[in-house]
Amino acid sequence: MPTTAVRFPFTRTRPFDLEPEISELRESASISQAELFDGKLAWLITRFDDVMAVCTNPAFSSDTTKDGYPEVFEGRTSKADKEKSLISMDPPDHDELRRMLTRWFTVKRAEAMRPRIQALVDELIDGMLAEEGRIDLVQDFALPIPTAVICWLLGVPEKDHLFFQERSGTRLAVAASSADVSSATTELMAYLDDLVGVKIEQPEDDIISDLVHQYMLPGTLDRATLVDLARQLLIAGHESTASMITLATMLLLEHPDQLADLRANPELYPSAVEEVLRYLTIAQLLVGRVATEDVTIGQQVIRAGEGVRALLNAANRDPRVFTDPDQLDVRRPNVRRHMAFGYGIHQCLGQAYARVEMQVALETLFRRLPGLALGVPLEEVSFKYESAVHGVHALPVTV
């Protein structure tokens, strides 16, 4: 690989837009070289078709422990700091575990939960309307929704949702030390191991009970793997959706013409959700791969052992696929082509629930709170520019 390379990740300063360096790289070359924080080199993949090719080619491994994997989180470069997860597993291990979970994450199941989600959203808005003090859209609205949904699915008591929010936040922060990440992981695992013990004796209609009695007790799945799988689902199940609800609310408030169209035509919300998913693409630093053999992407040969970073946010703003991609358009045709949930075998397992949660949350929020507005100027909002998943730390609003 040539030694002249841009530094990556780029410094993000725009809450809703791509870093200009990403757009420039995508238009100047389909694949570029990047230097990571540790001085190692990797390939940046920025065009839609090339990102899709990387995500579907079995010659690229997601295993973060393989030599050459392009790590962007400083402090997590040793193999001891990297645990296995669904998004960092390769077949056949990945496929076997995912098959155990698939029936719980269907569109039909997500739609069946819509009335319960609607009731929760209405309850949260009632609380916001009754609140006399400062309202934080993250803590008072966006975060409780997906946290409750994943707790319902897994059988975790709702009283423990703050415990999981805090520890998953530590694990997702790029600036978190190895010690902080290790401590958060240990606490999560201990809690979930205790919960597995409860489900052995008192099974209910939830994912953990199902895994215990269908797979663990018969000997197909060991307890440690089950506990770790539950941890992964808890973390993935609330942080990203909460960020999407919050950022989507801000984005629509910043585009009053689009918001007015939605309020006048609420049937547009499903397509509008797809558009904000495309536009924001909050998984800004999640797709890393390492080549296990020589493979050509575009016109570039990537050698075995070389790392790759596929940029979903760059792909979702590719003008070769989306007309005027930097414009928000809630009536955009064919917007479902986006890759906000990833692509290929590692595509987000919980996307059906995320869609229902966002549709219900946004439609109800803007219908019931016609005077909703930011409580501080946009430039005073604290964004998670340093995180693998884009979002905000807090969002004061007035109703």
Residue ranges per structural domain of the chain: 6-398
Alpha helices per DSSP H over the chain: 20-28, 48-56, 93-101, 107-112, 114-130, 137, 144-154, 161-172, 178-201, 207-211, 223-253, 256-264, 269-280, 312-315, 351-368
How far does Cα 196 stand from its chain's mean position? 26
Alpha carbon separation from 323 to 46, 56, 251, 339 (Å, rounded) = 17, 24, 19, 16
Cα angle 147-151-155, degrees, rounded to a multiple of 5: 175
287 neighbors 42 (Cβ within 8 angstroms)? no
Looking at CATH, the fold of the domain delimited by 6-398 is given as: Cytochrome p450 (1.10.630)
For the chain, 399 residues long, give each residue's pLDDT as a single digit of tens: 444 688 888 888 888 998 889 999 999 887 999 999 888 999 999 999 999 999 999 999 999 999 999 998 776 554 544 566 888 899 999 999 999 999 999 999 999 999 999 999 999 999 999 987 789 999 899 988 998 899 899 998 878 877 876 776 666 555 667 788 788 888 888 989 999 999 999 999 999 999 999 999 999 999 999 998 998 888 777 788 999 999 999 999 999 999 999 999 999 999 999 999 999 999 888 899 999 999 999 889 999 999 999 999 999 999 999 999 999 999 999 899 999 999 999 999 999 999 999 999 999 999 999 999 999 999 999 888 877 788 898 899 999
User: What is the pLDDT at residue 278?
Assistant: 97
Is 202 buried (19+), middle (13-18) or exposed (0-12) by CB count in 10 A? exposed
Dist. CA 87–CA 343, nearest whole Å: 11
User: What is the pLDDT at residue 202?
Assistant: 94
